[in-house]
Amino acid sequence: MRVPPGETRITIRLDDDILAWFRAQVHAMGGGNYQTLINEALREYMKQREEPLEDILRRVIREELQTYR
């Protein structure tokens, strides 16, 4: 499979509960790609490194939930 420009194929290990959570979020949104959601969460973390990751994830989840209410 070709990797699009600007992306790199890697192998990482994620805890089962983390992966299940991201997959569930995508399912709850009606579809999409859990890898994209993980990228978005990591990018948000990069933008606001001073803010604890837990606070960022909580904010991202709240924003996503508001979109679908």
In a domain, 34, yes or no: yes
Output the six-digit token pair for 55.
């606070």
In a domain, 8, yes or no: no
Work out how many domains the chain is built from and give that number: 1
Q: State the residue range of the domain holding 51.
A: 16-67
- 19-37 pLDDT tens trace: 999 999 999 999 999 999 9
In a domain, 20, yes or no: yes
Question: What's the predicted TM-score (pTM) here?
Answer: 0.63
- 43-57 pLDDT tens trace: 988 887 777 888 888
In a domain, 31, yes or no: yes
* Residue 29 neighbours by CB under 8 Å, 6+ apart: 64, 67, 68
